[in-house]
Structures are given as C-alpha cells and as structure tokens.
Structure 1
C-alpha cells in the first residue's frame, strides 16, 4: 500500500464521508425530538393517540431499515393515484427513512428513561405546587435524559454505521466510493480506509457522549 495510492482514493472517500456525516446530523437532529414526541403520545391518556404511537413503534422496529428505505425510495412512487406526488430525491428519501426509523428506537429509549423515574418525583412536585409543565421540564426530562443518555449514545453510534445503507439506494456515500475503488483497482485497501473513517466517527461520538454523561452526572 503506497502513500500515493492512499492519497488518490482519499479525496473521493472523504467526499463520501461528508454525505455520511450530513445524513447522520439530519437524522439525529430530527429523530430525537420526534422520538420524544412519540413517547409522549404512547403515554397519552387518549387511546387513539396511544394506539397510533405503539403501532408505529412496533411496525418500524419490527421491519428492517433497508426494507423501509427501499419502500420510500422505490415503493412510494408506484403507489396508485398518489405515487407521482411521492417521488423524492434519493438522499431526501433516505433522510426520511432514517428519521422515521430511529425516531421509533429513540421513543423506546425515552420510554425506558421515564419508567426509571420514581413516581414519588411526581408526587413531590405536586406537593411543591409545580405545574405539569414545570414538573416535566425541570424534574422529569432532566432525569430521563440522564438515564437514557447511554442508550442514546449507543444508538447514535449504530446510526453512523447504518448510514452505509445509503449504498443500497444508490446514494454516493463513503461505502459507495470504497466499493468503486475496490472494483476498479482490485485491492481491499479502500475497505480498510473506510473502516478507519467509520472508527474515527464512532470515536468522536463516544468522546462526546462521555462528556455529556459526566456533565449530567454532576448537575
């Protein structure tokens, strides 16, 4: 493996990594609040809303992400009558798929965080005269985040790796350029290079979430 060859493939692969990072940030920023919203709906006293949230989470978590991406990219456009209005750019379709998928997983993580909070916290808030909004924002949510943070960190690292599924819907990302280089040059070096980039991204995320955990631990 020569330095010249590494420099030759580094440009296209780093360009693909930019697409990977972009998808990650779009998916994580949108799926976290959506997941929390689903948690609220799932715990709602309204049975239709609760049923909808639980059904959505069950269906999304029970089917492969790749299947969901293929359906959004290639299935929606061929639906009768409405299909022509649902034709999306491949990257946009992939973003929608990742957001909808990870929102369901984050919803379950947040639900677990809420279940870990002792009911006495709610009773103490009532005794102190706090409103429901104050109880939720000042007492419940901070504790829920502290409990859920390790699981959120793990799921975020999984999201980084799952971005490789963009390859299946013909979006040129990191793995796409690695595979192209392998097929062209008959060497597995690009795969190792891609692995190093994924590891670096996972390392940065791990350090970030460790910092967050320390911060919430001492607040």
Structure 2
C-alpha cells in the first residue's frame, strides 16, 4: 500500500485589478475637484477665515443647536406618547394617534412653521378657563408664541409624528412572549412597557433617532422663513451686505459638518452601549484601535 502523496498547496492572492483601477480613478477625480475648488481665487478663503468664528455666526450656531435639542426633546417625548396611543386597545386613543401622525406627516414642515408664526391672525388671544364659560387666564398670542416659540413648536410637533413611527416599530420588534411573561408575573401594562419592552426596543429605536437628530440639525435652517436668527439666517444677513454668498455659505457648511460629526460620534457610542446586551464581542472603538496600534508599535523590536 503506497503512502498518500502530500503536496503543498500554494495560495495565490487575488489581485482585484478592476477594483484598484476604479479606486485610482475616483481618487484622481476627488483630488482634481478639491484642488480646483481650493485654488479658485473667487472662493475668497480669506473671507471664510474672517467670518468662521465671527460672533454673529457663533450666536447663530448656538441658536441652531438649541433648536435641535428642544425640537428633538419634544419629538422624542411626543413620539413615545403617540406610539403608545396608536398601540392602545382603546380605539379612541388609537385613532387620535393615527390622526395626529397623518396630519403632521402629510403637511410640509415649512407650512407648519408659518402656521404657528401667523397663528395670532386667527387666534389673537389664548386663555385658560371653562369651555364655553368664564376664562381665568388670558394671554396675547403674539406675546405667548414668539418667533423662537413658533420654531420650536413647528419643528418639535412635526418631529413627533416621525418619532411615533420609529418608536412603534421598535416596540413591535420585541417578541410578544416577553409581554405575556411579564403579565403572568403580575406586571401592569405600564410596568411591562417601562421595564421590559422599551429597554429592548431601544436597540431598534436609537439608530433612526440618531439619524433624525442629524436631520433635525439641518432642518432648522427652514426657520429662516420666520426670521429666527439661526446659523443660516445669520449667514444670509452677512452676505446680503457684502455680497459674498459662496464664501459665507462655505462657512455655514463647515459648521454644519462639525456639528453633524459630533452627533455622529455620540450616536456611535450610544448604539454601542445598547448593543452590549445583544452582542458578546463588540468591535473595538476607534480610540481602542489607535491605542492597540500604538502599543503594538512600542512592543515591536526596532
């Protein structure tokens, strides 16, 4: 009986010629476009540098961030309430939740902003009291709903309609057996939702909520229609005087990119935190990878 002939197999690495050619072409086009854009004298980069940290621009950026935080807070809280209403066994609550989502998702955000801004034209006074009876407290609508208030209401209530569907999708993703098990243990519907369902649904809810937050940051630029001095409105006020539209819009784009990058980092670590219960081995963070690379470089012999 002859011994088997063991031959060593030599693995040949795939070359992926087409992939490298496509990458080279894309890199060339990117460098060409960036070089042409940066070397264009009409870009007036000196103007960009002069206004990048101007006080009026930074104040507008602060207003943009404030609008984003307030609108998302209203949107998240309202979205949770609306999602629970839509999933309620009470048909009145379920239909009211559906009606809200239908109205606020079906009309443009700009129209809603203008509606809140011009509300005083049809409702000059807002009061608290007995319906069809005496009024205890009364306010002028123009005093109560300012430009900033109209912006927050328009953005927040519009966002609540979208967050309601995101939260509802997260809740329905949790297995019904978990709810049944909680009810057999004597938990109420509210306790089951707060302790069992929502903590698990957050893994589904957080990624699209992060995307909505980034979208909201950019959507705040629509409040220029009601003259709220956010970032884009401040930029428009500057270039309406010096007629340097493109350099000033470049300033706005740079600050939007910085703000969205910060939100991206926050979303990354928040998603990572809520994945700990679903994944045993989480991939290392960029900081951990950098530390590992530096440690390996120090341990390697020179």
TM-score range, shorter chain: over 0.9
| Post-superposition offset of 1:129 | 4.1
1:45 aligns with 2:102: no
| Post-superposition offset of 1:41 | 1.0
Which residue does 2:290 correspond to in 1? none
| Post-superposition offset of 1:3 | 4.3
Which residue does 2:148 correspond to in 1? 91
Which residue does 2:63 correspond to in 1? 19
| 2: CA distance, partners of 1:33 / 1:108 | 13
| 2: CA distance, partners of 1:201 / 1:9 | 14
Task: Give secondary structure in 1 for the equivalent of 2:53.
Answer: helix
Task: Give secondary structure in 1 for the equivalent of 2:88.
Answer: coil
Output aligned runs, 1:128-207, within 5 Å: 128-187=185-244, 188-207=246-265
Which residue does 1:216 correspond to in 2? 274
CA 1:131–1:52: 2 relative to 1, 3 Å: closer
Work out whether residues 51 and 251 of structure 2, in 8 Å CA contact, stay in contact via their aligned partners in 1: no
1:32 aligns with 2:32: no
Spell out, residue by residue over 1:8-61, the C-alpha distance to the aligned partner (whole angstroms, 9 max, x if none): 463211111111011111111222111101111111122121111100101100
Which residue does 1:103 correspond to in 2? 160
Q: State the aligned residue count.
A: 216
More moved, 126-135 vs 198-207:
126-135
CA 1:179–1:138: 2 relative to 1, 3 Å: same
The structure with the largest alpha-carbon Rg is: 2
Task: Give secondary structure in 2 for the equivalent of 1:218.
Answer: coil
TM-score (structure 1 length as normaliser): 0.92
| Post-superposition offset of 1:172 | 1.1
| 2: CA distance, partners of 1:150 / 1:95 | 23
1:7 aligns with 2:65: no
CA RMSD of aligned residues (A): 1.6
CA 1:206–1:2: 2 relative to 1, 3 Å: closer
Larger RCO, structures 1/2 (Cα 8 Å, 6+ apart):
1
Which residue does 1:66 correspond to in 2? 110
TM-score (structure 2 length as normaliser): 0.68
- Structure richer in helix, relative to its length: 1
Listed as ranges, the gaps of 5+ residues in structure 1 are none
More moved, 46-55 vs 128-137:
128-137
| Post-superposition offset of 1:2 | 5.0
